[in-house]
Amino acid sequence: MGHSGTGFIDRNGEISLPMRFKGIGHFHEGLCAIGRDLQLGVIDHIGQWVIEPRFLILSSFAQGLAFASVDGISIGYIDRLGNFVVEPRFETAHRFSDGLAAVRRRSLWGYIRGCGSIAIAFQFDGPCAYPFVAGLAGVCSDGSWGFIDSLGNWVVRPQFEAVQNFAEGLAPVCKENKWGFLTPNGEIAVPCKYDKLGVLDCGMAPAKVAGRAGYVSRWGDWAIEPRFEDCYRFVGDLAVAVTGNRYCYLRRDGEVVWSSEPLASVQYPPVL
């Protein structure tokens, strides 16, 4: 009986790395975190192990560092040689962005620098703390969400039920169970009126209202009318949408370029 495995293809569909790895990995900064047997390591573009598998938790690299854990409990950060440059002492960690990474200790979130020193004290609650994007990060305090700057100062005071990252100058925020867009200075750019709202990508964001989904512009107008049951953000020129028991790929002009068989599952991000 054959053994299943993971490999990699090039843009022409040719297998460039054979099916000898475990799990799914993506290349970032020229490296890919992926498994062998029951442990994780890092390979380069020719499939050689740059860091031999020895971790139970391992992220992709960002700004030269990846969070990792040998025991699956305590998390630190390794460099591109596999050496811990930030010793494992956190419960949960995220990748670096804008020179800072969100980490959790004793059930509270804070931010550290690449050397491991604390940049913003452990003071935030909630299920996560968002990465910094354009100098702002979404965090939760006493159950409400707002945005801080890289010094830990509140730029937008906690007042929302949920938030997402800023993208293209706007962030989705939720108030009274409805979503809208917020500017970096805390002004509501698009009123909270959607049941679901995603981040902007090339001026379009997935949105849903009254059970129908489509795509809105940064001003809140429908760029693709809500004729789907659900839809997801664009990746490149394609997005996945759902109609009945079928998935489809659609272009930014709203044209459906492929539809699945009933009840099929599809790849996301979409690839044609």
Instruction: Indicate the helix (H) or strand (E) that contains 17.
Output: strand 15-21
pLDDT at 104: 98
> What is the pairing mode between strands 31-36 and 39-43?
antiparallel
Q: Are strands 27-28 and 6-9 parallel, antiparallel or unpaired?
A: unpaired
pLDDT at 20 over 80: no
CB 125 within 8 A of CB 142: yes
Structure confidence at residue 227 (pLDDT): 97
Q: pTM of this prediction?
A: 0.88
- Domains of the chain with bracketed CATH: 1-90 (2.20.25)
- Give just the sign of the alpha carbon dihedral 107, 108, 109, 110: negative
Question: Residue 19 pLDDT > 70, yes or no?
Answer: no
Compute the half-sphere exposure of residue 205: CA atoms within 13 Å on the CB side of its CA. 26
The answer to whether residue 82 scores a pLDDT higher than 70 is yes
- Under the banding of pLDDT at 50, 70 and 90, the label for residue 26 is confident
Q: Per-residue pLDDT tens for 213-258?
A: 999 999 999 999 999 999 999 988 999 999 988 999 999 999 999 8
Q: Looking at residue 13, what is its pLDDT?
A: 62
pLDDT of residue 236: 85
Q: Is the pLDDT assigned to residue 1 strictly greater than 50?
A: no
State the pLDDT confidence band at 10, using cuts at 50, 70 and 90. low
Q: What is the mean pLDDT of residues 101-121?
A: 98
Range of weakest confidence among 42-56, 100-114, 182-196 = 42-56
Region 171-196: mean pLDDT is 98
* Beta bridge pairs of residue 241: 231, 248
